[in-house]
Amino acid sequence: EAQVTQNPRYLITVTGKKLTVTCSQNMNHEYMSWYRQDPGLGLRQIYYSMNVEVTDKGDVPEGYKVSRKEKRNFPLILESPSPNQTSLYFCASSLGGGLAGTYNEQFFGPGTRLTVL
């Protein structure tokens, strides 16, 4: 089944304890992305990757790191989490990356609910 998977689905942690949220897709998609969703602020893009080893900042990259060493995986790293990073996180992937002439339908993972105490 074609899908985007995220782990863990739920995580409660403490301030400063490094964590990684994994994201994997099995659709051979070039483009992958991370979003956070907060009440009243909607969904905002954190980082995206157009291809292996190519990443760029979205609108809210502060406090996050990403890497794209393989096409199928795009982990989100919080080196020193803080309470303001408590949020619902989504990973997504698409064949193309949004430019004209490419097919860019995004598919989303199930979400990871993170609480930082």
Partner 1 sequence: GIQVEQSPPDLILQEGANSTLRCNFSDSVNNLQWFHQNPWGQLINLFYIPSGTKQNGRLSATTVATERYSLLYISSSQTTDSGVYFCAVVREGTYKYIFGTGTRLKVLA
Distance of closest approach, residue 16 Cβ to partner 1, in angstroms: 27
Smallest distance from partner 1 to CB 104, Å: 4
Judged by beta carbon, residue 77 or residue 88, the one nearer partner 1 is 88
Query: Containing H/E element for 34?
Result: strand 31-38
Task: Judge contact between 35 and 89, C-beta under 8 A.
Answer: yes
Query: Least separation, in Å, of the C-beta of 80 and partner 1?
Result: 26
Residue 97 CB neighbours (<10 A): 19
Q: Find the radius of gyration of the CA atoms of the chain.
A: 14
* CB of 59 or CB of 79, closer to partner 1: 59
Binding site for partner 1 (CB under 8 A): 31, 33, 35, 42-45, 48, 50, 56, 58-59, 88, 90, 97-100, 103-108, 110-111, 113
Least gap, CB of 22 to partner 1 (angstroms): 18
**Among the listed residues 39, 35, 14, 17, the one whose alpha carbon sits nearest the alpha carbon of residue 110:** 35
Contact 117, 60 (CB under 8 A): no
- In terms of CB distance, is 58 or 63 closer to partner 1? 58
